[in-house]
Amino acid sequence: NAGVTQTPKFQVLKTGQSMTLQCAQDMNHEYMSWYRQDPGMGLRLIHYSVGAGITDQGEVPNGYNVSRSTTEDFPLRLLSAAPSQTSVYFCASSYAESGANVLTFGAGSRLTVL
Amino acid sequence: GQQVMQIPQYQHVQEGEDFTTYCNSSTTLSNIQWYKQRPGGHPVFLIQLVKSGEVKKQKRLTFQFGEAKKNSSLHITATQTTDVGTYFCAKGNYGQNFVFGPGTRLSVLP
């Protein structure tokens, strides 16, 4: 199993450009989520999904869109990038079982917005 | 804002010294998890605590969950350079927000 795969690993954007961060998992996890990590801020939840067709907002959803058309994929879209979105983004997934709270993280995507 | 707080924010220790990080919540927790993130890496799950007063050990790491289930601690005995990284506590249940503390960054001087 590859676990949680994120692409790209690095990306530089200009203000106003759009892009999609890809996240795929092969563990049949129903729960998937996106976090951003900024220095001194820890990990902040952007959006999450408990299954295909279901998404919900986390702590910092503004400027980001998500969709969940399949169990495996959970892409994160930036429609109009802003310098404030410069960050490291992590995708994470978990089993859909009561008490199974372990998050498996991808390797991360480092985004710079100029 | 942060619903889970951690102290200290940074800790520098000499190799062989002990290290402790504390996690505090204003509300009662159903569980607490601990993750470790190596420099340049991604968070990796260490352990989950569920019961009041629970203590779990992983080699030199000791994890405790407070009696009131509002705080937790991670203690490392005789730190090694391999312990370097940021330690996060997190709360959450499947289907809900997983909320992470801001983390404690540990540096170990050889």
Q: What is the DSSP string of A20-81?
A: EEEEEESS--SEEEEEEEETTTEEEEEEEEEETTEEEE-S--TTEEE--SSSSB--EEESS-
pLDDT digits (tens, 9 = 90+) for B42-68: 999 999 999 999 999 999 999 999 999
Minimal C-alpha gap between B82 and chain A (Å): 19
What average pLDDT does the segment A37-57 reach? 91
Cis bond upstream, residue A8 (ω within 30): yes
How many other CB atoms are there within 10 angstroms of residue B22's CB atom? 18
Residue A105 pLDDT > 90, yes or no?
yes
Does A43 sit within 8 Å of B88, measured CB to CB?
A: yes
- What long-range pairs does A44-47 form, CB within 8 A, spacing at least 24? A44/B100, A45/B97, A45/B98, A45/B99, A46/A76, A46/A89, A47/A76
Among the residue ranges A97-106, B9-18, B101-110, the one predicted with the least confidence is A97-106
Instruction: Name every chain A residue with its beta carbon within 8 A of the beta carbon of B45.
Output: 102-104
B24: contact with A, CB 8 A cutoff: no
Rounded CA-CA distance B18/B52 in Å is 24
Closest CA to B31 of B89, B74, B75: B89
Of A25-39, A56-70, A91-105, B56-70, give the lowest mean pLDDT range. A91-105
Quickly state the pLDDT bin for B3 (edges 50, 70, 90): confident
Instruction: Answer yes or no: do A104 and B45 touch at CB < 8 A.
Output: yes
| pLDDT(B78) > 50 | yes
Q: Pick from A20-24, A40-44, B87-91 the range whose average pLDDT is largest.
A: A20-24
Q: B81 phi and psi, to 5 degrees?
A: -60, -25
- In this structure, what is the dihedral angle of CA atoms A38, A44, A46, A52, given to the nearest 10 degrees? 130
| pLDDT above 80 for A84 | yes
Range A81-91 average pLDDT: 97
- The pLDDT score that the predictor gives to residue B1 is 46
- φ/ψ of A21, rounded to 5, equals -90, 130
Q: Is A82 on the interface with B (CB under 8 A)?
A: no
Spell out the residues 6+ positions from residue A79 whose beta carbon is closer than 8 angstroms to its own: A18, A63, A65
> Is the pLDDT confidence value at B95 over 70?
no
Instruction: Please say if the pLDDT value at position B41 is more than 60.
Output: yes
Interface of B with A in 35-74 (CB under 8 A): 35, 41-45, 48, 50
